[in-house]
Amino acid sequence: MMRRLSLATLAAPLACAVALLAGCAADKPKPTALDTVAPQIAGRQVWQARLDAVQFPLGVVSRNGQFVVAGSDGTVMALDADSGREVWRGSAGDKLSAGVGSDGRHAAVVTRDNELVVLDQGVKGWSKRLATRVVTPPLVAGGRVFVMGVDRVVHAFDLQDGLKLWSATRQGEALTLAQPGLLTAFQDTLVAGIGAVLVGIDPTKGSVRWELPLTSPRGTNEVERLNDLLGPMVRVGDVVCARAFQTAVGCADLAKRSVRWSRNAGGMNAVGGDAEYLFGADGSDRINAWRASNGDLAWSNERLLYRSLSAPLSAGSAVIFGDYEGQVHFLSRAEGKLVLRLPTDGSPVVAQPVLSGATVLVVTRNGGLFAFRPE
End-to-end CA gap in the chain: 53
Measured CA angle at 324 (ends 320, 328), to 5 deg: 25
Q: Does a structural domain hold residue 338? A: yes
Q: Does a structural domain hold residue 115? A: yes
Q: Does a structural domain hold residue 194? A: yes
Q: Does a structural domain hold residue 2? A: no
The range of the structural domain enclosing residue 285 comes to 40-374
Q: For position 26, what pLDDT does the model report?
A: 54
Q: How far is CA 9 from CA 30, 150, 175, in A?
A: 30, 10, 10
Task: Give the total number of structural domains in the chain.
Answer: 1
Question: DSSP string covering 224-265, please?
Answer: TT--PEEEEEEEETTEEEEEETTTEEEEEETTTTEEEEEEE-
- Give the CATH number for residue 205: 2.130.10.10
In sign, the C-alpha dihedral spanning 142, 143, 147, 152 is negative
pTM: 0.90
Of the CA atoms within 13 Å of residue 221, those in its CB half-sphere come to 5
Q: For position 87, what pLDDT does the model report?
A: 97
Q: Does a structural domain hold residue 209? A: yes
Residue type, 117: V
Q: Does a structural domain hold residue 9? A: no
Q: Does a structural domain hold residue 202? A: yes
From CA 40, how far away is CA 38, in angstroms rounded? 6
pLDDT along the chain (375 residues), means of 10: 43 36 61 95 96 92 96 97 97 95 96 98 97 95 96 95 94 66 95 94 96 77 72 95 94 96 93 98 97 98 98 97 98 97 98 96 98 93
Q: Residue 238 CB: number of other CB atoms within 10 A?
A: 12
Q: Does a structural domain hold residue 48? A: yes
Q: Residues 361, 369: contact at Cβ < 8 Å?
A: yes
